[in-house]
Amino acid sequence: MPATERPLALTLGDPSGIGPELALSAWRLRAERGVPPFQLIGDPDFLERTAHRLGLFVPVAEVEPDDAVEVFPRALPVLPLPSGARVEAVPGAPDSANAGAIVESITAAVDLVRTGRASAVVTNPIAKFVLTKVGFAHPGHTEFLAALAASPGREPPLPVMLLWSETLSVVPVTIHVALRRVPELLTQALVERTARIVEADLRARFGFDKPRLVLSGLNPHAGEAGTMGTEDRDVLAPAVAALRSEGIDIRGPLPADTLFHERARATYDVALCPTHDQALIPIKTLAFDEGVNVTLGLPFVRTSPDHGTAFDIAGQGVARPDSLIAALKLARRLASSNVTPFPVRS
């Protein structure tokens, strides 16, 4: 079934955060903003209560995925959690009692894509500390999705986090680790593997014929020939040379402080950055409300808003759905490529 005939599978996220109200707002803006059909996996009663509390007129319809696209113009399609679990949540007060529902929503969304009943996974924000309290063993959302994508008896795929916007796209090579650990983790093999995954998915999903990559330096002035740290000279430069020998269009390492102004951005499609904040600070400065988190290297399309649960504003009706809408629209675009996300099971 073509992607345009299947809904996007939207996860519940942490129900105490802004995810549920963003989903309601995105549905209300469906015509005005061209939001593609999606189905939220969660508790229909909870969604109805949330809409009522926020004063939003959003009809909620409990439907199967096969009917979601047809229902979407007149009601928000919701697929109950497979266990039938009910959600009770106080805005801004994360509760580990909801951890099971959060995880179950993610698992069900992936299964919908795996069985061909949804075209892509879009995830609402979660708070990992809520899940770790009940034994969640994965470092984060992305790693859990990779584990779900693994074939039986095989190692999970090695995912890469791309932060995408029309203004700037970036990839952090190391992600959620203390800054002091970056030099030991930033190996030539990691840089090369990350760049290969980025280049392959830019071709396969984003439609680039010859993606232009650039690698930011780790140290000030990209190490200044080893006088401000040797990682740029001894790790990053050899990685770039090896990748270029494979035919990948990549430059660097280049000084991070001159990499993100307008003229520089015109010279590349994606910037790879050694550290988390090197990548996320510029994109959140330039495109805070429009950025999308895309997981590359998975056998299915996954996007999410480029922000967290925002417990501090949850339930107030002030959260902007722009990033979620961008994530939904990009997921539909990527799912409509020629890549088959999963072999469809009968």
The predicted-structure confidence for 180-234, as pLDDT tens digits, reads as follows 999 999 999 999 999 999 999 999 999 899 999 999 999 999 888 889 889 999 9
Check if 1-157+301-346 and 167-286 are the same fold.
yes
Superfamily for domain range 1-157+301-346: Isopropylmalate Dehydrogenase (3.40.718.10)
Mean per-residue pLDDT over the chain, rounded: 92
User: How high is the pLDDT of residue 4?
Assistant: 66
Q: Cα dihedral angle (46, 52, 54, 56), rounded to 10 degrees? A: 110
Average pLDDT over residues 75-97: 94
d(CA 8, CA 109) in angstroms, rounded, equals 9
**What whole-number distance in Å separates Cα of residue 168 and Cα of residue 273?**
13
pLDDT of residue 341: 42
Q: What is the pLDDT of residue 124?
A: 97
The verdict on whether omega for the bond into residue 253 sits within 30 degrees of 0, i.e. cis, is yes
Res 3: pLDDT: 62
pLDDT of residue 288: 85
Specify the range with the lowest mean pLDDT, choosing from 35-39, 132-136, 233-237: 132-136
| Ranges of each domain in the chain | 1-157+301-346, 167-286
SS3 annotation, 251-265: EEEECHHHCCCHHHH
The helix (H) or strand (E) run that includes residue 277 is helix 276-286
The SS3 call for residue 39 is strand
Q: How many residues does the chain have?
A: 346
Give the chain's end-to-end CA distance (angstroms, integer). 13
CA distances from 115 to 209, 248, 318, 342 (A): 30, 34, 36, 8
Contact yes or no for 57/72 (Cβ under 8 A):
no
Answer for the pair 77, 39: CB distance below 8 angstroms, yes or no. Answer: yes
229 DSSP assignment: B
Determine the Cα–Cα distance for residues 233 and 238; give it in Å rounded to an integer: 8
Q: Which of 23, 107, 11 is nearest to 319 (CA)?
A: 23
pLDDT value at residue 141: 86
Least confident of 149-163, 208-222, 295-309: 149-163
Closest of 144, 123, 114, 154 to residue 41, by C-alpha: 123
**pLDDT value of position 345:** 35
pLDDT at 240 over 80: yes
Are 8 and 124 spatial neighbours (Cβ–Cβ below 8 Å)?
A: no
pLDDT in tens, 97-149: 999 999 999 999 999 999 999 999 999 999 988 988 778 888 778 888 988 88
Given a cut of 60, is residue 84 above it in pLDDT?
Answer: yes
| Tokens encoding 84 | 């039938």
Fold classification of 167-286 is Isopropylmalate Dehydrogenase (3.40.718)
Residue range 247-266: mean pLDDT, rounded: 96
Whole-number pLDDT of residue 340: 44
Helix or strand holding residue 60 (H, E): strand 60-62
CA atoms within 13 A on the CB side of 282: 26
Contact assessment for residue 234 and residue 225, using Cβ atoms and an 8 Å cutoff: no
Whole-number pLDDT of residue 342 = 41
